[in-house]
Structures are given as C-alpha cells and as structure tokens.
Homo-oligomer: A and B are copies of this chain.
Amino acid sequence: MPESVRTRCVPVPLARVQITGGFWGPRQEVNRKVTIPAIYRQCKQTGRIDAWKLDWKPGQPNPPHKFYDSDVAKWLEAVGHSLATHPDPRLEALADGVIELIARAQQPDGYLNTYFTVVEPDKRWKNLRDNHELYCAGHLIEAAVAYYQATGKRRLLDVLCRYADLIDATFGREAGKKRGYPGHEEIELALVKLYRTTGERRYLQLAKYFVDERGRQPHYYDIEARARGEDTNLRWWRETYGENFYRALQAHLPVRQQKTAEGHAVRAMYLYTAMADLAAETGDRSLLAACKRLWRNVTERRMYITGGVGASGRGERFTFDYDLPNETAYAETCAAIGLVFWAQRMLRLEPDARYADVMERALYNGVLSGVSLDGARFFYTNPLAMYPAAAPYSGKHLEPIRQEWFPCACCPPNIARLIASLGLYLYSEAPKTAYVHLYATSRAELDIGGRVVTLEQETQYPWTGQVRIVVHPERAWRFTLALKIPGWSRRVRCRVNGHLRNLYSLTRRGYAHIQRAWAPGDVVELDFALPVERIEAHPRVRMNCGRIALQRGPLVYCLEEIDNGPDLRDIVLPRGIPLQARFEPRLLGGVVVIEGQGCRRTWEGWRNILYRPAGSRYRPVAVRAVPYYTWGNRRPGEMLLWVREG
C-alpha cells in the first residue's frame, strides 16, 4: 500500500476503531439493526437489487433508473464499514449475494451500469453532464474498497478495478480518449481510495485528470451536447444560474480558479473532498490553496449553523454569501455528509480544529437530523424551520415528516454508510502524534511512528463534558497526544493522572498538544464546561437578525410545536433569562433539554384583525428546546431553530 508521504496525520483505519457506547454506540447499533436492513428491503422492493440481473426488457414496466446502482453501492459500502467493526455472517452472506449479481452484470469490456446496459445501451458515455454513469461507478468503487477492507474479499474490488481500467482507457487527454468528466462528482474521491487500496497510480492519475479537466474551455459539456445534436444554451440552466450556467456542476471554471462554492451542494462537497485528497497525495499547493479558499467561503459565509449546506431547493444549490433562509433551506442530508468527508480530508492536510469543529457541527446536527431515532425514516432536506402548512407551497422539496424512502434515494444509504464508518472520523495517527478529533466512547489502536498506542475513551459527551481517556502505549515512550479543544468550548479542565494541566498554553490551532512519556494506563481526564449558549449569526444573515440559536456543546437546539405549542415564531427569549439544561431520560431516547421562561404575545383583541397598532401584551411561557437532530420524531408540527431574542 502506498504511503501518503505528504500527509501528516491520517485517519485510523476503521478496523482499529471500535465505538463501544456513549452517544454514538447506540446510533451505530440502530444503524446496523434497523437502517441497513431497511435500506436493503427498499432496494429489493423497488427493483434496485434485481436490476443487476439485467433482465429488464424494453416495453416492461419499471426500468432501472440512472441512480439505482449508486443506492445499492452505498448500501454495500455501509455493510462493508459495519462488518469492519461488527462481523455479521448473515449480513455478509447477503452482501456476497448482491456482489455476485453485480459481478455477473459486468460486461465483457468491463462496463458496469444497469441503466446503460439494458435501458439505453446506445447512450453509454454520451451525456456525462446529466447522466450519472461515473457517479454510479464512483459509489461502486467506494463500496468495493470498503468491502475489501472489511472482509479481505476481492470479488467486488477486482470487478471495479476492471471497470476503473475501462474508464481509464475511455477518458483522458490522450488521443482517442474522450476528454470528459462527470456531471456529478464522486468518482474522483473514489479513485483516490482505489489508489490507496491497490497502489495503482493510474487510478490516482485518473482522479487528477477528472479534477484538472473540469471547467476548461472548450467546454466538454458543449462539445458532447453538440455531438448529441442538442442545444448548448439551456434555458432552465440559464434562468437558474445565469450565463455561466455550468456553475451548477462546478464546471464554470477550472477548479483552481474557483473562489466560491457554487451549484449543486452535494456535487460540490464531493469535488472539494477529492481536491483535498489530491492535494494530500500530490502535494499540489495550488489545489490546496483552492481547497482552503473554498473551505472559508463555505464555512464562513454559506453554511447553516447545523452544518447544512446548499440553501436553495431550486438546483439544490449554493446561492450567495450569507443567504441562509431557514424555512426553505434545502440543506440536503447528503450535502452535510459531504461536508464531513471534506472536513476529514482537510484535517488530513493540516490538523486544525476549524476542520474538526465543522465536522462535529455537521455530524451532530445537519447529518444526524437526516435519520430518525428509530433508524427507519429519513429527511432528505433539513430546513431550520418547519411550518407544515407552508410545505406544499414551496416547490416539492419540503417534507414536514420523515419518509421511509425517496424516489431519488441518495440520502438514506449515505447516512447509513457514514454512521457505520464513524470510527474513521475520531482519531488520526501521525509519526509522533495521536490526534483525538471527536470525543466518543471508543477504543482505538493507533500506529504512532510504528508503535501501537491504544486509546480507551469513555464519555457521555455531548450530554456531559467529561471525557476520560486511558492511554496504552505498547510500552512507555514519548509522543504527543493532541486533543481537540472544540471551538465552542470556553473553559476546560484537564488532569493527567489526576494532576491538573493547563491546556491553553499547549493549544495550537485548536489542539492541545500534551507531550510526555506516556506509560500504559496513563489517564487523561477532560472536563469541558457545557453552558447553554445563545448564538447569533453574522449581521448579514438577514433571516436571523434579532434571533438567537441555542447551543450546548456541539448540539444546536430547536423548538418543536409538541413542546411549545404552535406559532413558534412568536416566542421570545428575553436577554438574560436563565436557561437550564436538564437530562430527560425518557424523552427522545434520553436527551438534554434546554428550558427557560420565555414569553409570547397574547391573542387578545386579534379577532378578525390582521394589522393594528403595536402594543400587544406578552405572557410568560415555559420554553423547551430539544436537540435539532431529534426533531420530527414525535407528532408532526412546527419546528424552529432561530428564536426571537427579546
């Protein structure tokens, strides 16, 4: 396996990280026991699995859809990740069966796509802009890598290497090749994984080609459109995106010239993830600079407080700086997941808590909101306010209640694979440093300069701020334990073997570096103060002026109608009122709620009037906020994140 020489800290492989309890342990269990089986059932019932039999014939109902392959691939990837830490022979046998179907669907030349094999075989590689062939290929590659890493079985990996070889032989700058690149990015990051797994540099080069070629002139999407005999001046695109409408696909400029996050948010996240991967593998400074510029644009101007990205449902897209509408927020679950991917890749480039903070923000809020507590229902979009009566009026995308499945079902298997692979996001290993990015009850074996260091972490984080880490180097030796100090933290106490250590002087870029000769059984105790925080948004976020969000640790809170009655927007939290955090074991599987005395207008005198001179009286009301990720798990109703401040 090639060493990524230029990267300083790499994630600890999944097989060496067990999440053993705390907050995420039960979530992973639900993911294994409910979500992964539910997704399989949906894939089976909707024909996604059987599509691989390639027995659909023209004229029959329910042809495979262009996206189908990716859904099954993400399910397989989730299975792979899950098996890495939780072996399950029955699940593995089920997956092996699906893999066999997939393998048999591979065409003699290596091609592997259900839709373009049975439905429109003449359209293969004819429309990279709109069709999802390379996107589906990318997900299959990710699945193959995950499954191989978990089980050691090469069946799917070999199939995908053959397919990748075909793709490599088809696309590129060399004579006779198509100079195309995918309309929906994904294969780029997958090819980097394939390279890291197989050591085959062609895959890295192909990923680099796809990224470098993007947005160049003459524009490939124009060329292929003309080859299809189609107009290149697309009306809806122009109306939605303006003249340089390939920004929809991050193809309006070569990637190194892109300064703002544009277009479809999921695609953007996958592209930026690949760019960071390539910067790490190649040491390309211009690519790194582009990544950092885009990172700042997204996280400093275009990201919801939940870590959601992509404000508009029209194009599922980024809009403009500080434009973060709440009720109509698209904030697709997949986009928040993509942001987690990207953050992890940026962390690999430079351990900086800015990245880990965003990763944590997205995970605990805009990602986790995407799946119900019971693991069986999903949100595709994650608005920051829900007014159910308005949902039918804002296009089609607002869902007042969680759904079991979607016609375009990218989100459920995406969240399943992320939760199954959560271990990849907790720790990194570097030659002399063990990094802790996220606090979660877990046991991990890190390779620090060739020696094994086992970390045992125990915590009820984020409900409490106490974290206990037992350090087990294989024998005593000097290295650095780098502990992330979350951006939200204002006060942390640290004891090493019972002795207080002042972390502030040790903190660089948000990581407290405790360097010492660590001995087996050394104990680090952290205690983060977890006050209820009132957060304000930048004055330019016009939707949130005069409003605050409640946050405690990494969790953002929201109000739900079931706790607070309807018309949540009329609730006021006066400045300075005490807000208590209280663990409520019987609520929503056990959560810390935030409670306080707010107020709201009385309805006196409002009968048959719409406007009147101001001067309503306010009455005190008990206000209860629950973690945002838990919303929509009880009775349907209103939800509100940004609350009026009095």
Contact = CB atoms under 8 A, between A and B. Distances in A.
A237 B43 CA distance: 31
Interface residues of A, number: 55
A312 interface: yes
Interface in A540-578: 540-543, 545-546, 548-549, 567, 569-570, 572, 575
Contacts of A601: 539, 545
Nearest to A541: B610
Tell me which of A242, A395, A535, A569 has the highest count of chain B C-beta atoms within 10 A of its own C-beta. Answer: A569
B389 A610 contact: no
A611 B322 CA distance: 11
Interface in A117-152: none
A645 interface: yes
Contacts of A323: 389-390, 393
Interface stretch (A103-111, A265-273, A299-307, A440-448): A299-307
Interface stretch (A334-342, A471-479, A612-620): A612-620
A319 B545 contact: no
Nearest to A646: B546
Interface string A291-331: 00000100111010100000010100001100100000000
A546 B613 CA distance: 13
A174 interface: no
Contacts of A549: 611
A614 B393 contact: no
A544 to B, nearest CB: 9
A608 B392 CA distance: 36
A536 interface: yes
A548 B320 contact: no
Contacts of A539: 567, 570, 600-601, 603, 606, 616
Contacts of A572: 546
A496 to B, nearest CB: 29
Interface string A516-551: 000000000000000001111111111101101100
B613 A535 contact: yes
A305 B614 contact: no
B538 A395 contact: no
A320 B390 CA distance: 8
Contact of A644 (B546, B606, B612): B546
Given A538-B610, A545-B601, 13 more contacts: A296-B608, A319-B390, A319-B393, A323-B390, A323-B393, A387-B542, A536-B616, A538-B606, A539-B570, A539-B601, A539-B616, A545-B569, A545-B570
Interface of A: 239, 242, 296, 299-301, 303, 305, 312, 314, 319-320, 323, 387, 389-390, 392-393, 395-396, 533-543, 545-546, 548-549, 567, 569-570, 572, 575, 600-601, 603, 606, 608-616, 644-645
17 contacts: A296-B608, A300-B608, A300-B609, A301-B610, A305-B610, A314-B393, A320-B389, A536-B614, A536-B615, A538-B609, A539-B570, A542-B567, A543-B569, A545-B570, A545-B601, A546-B644, A548-B614
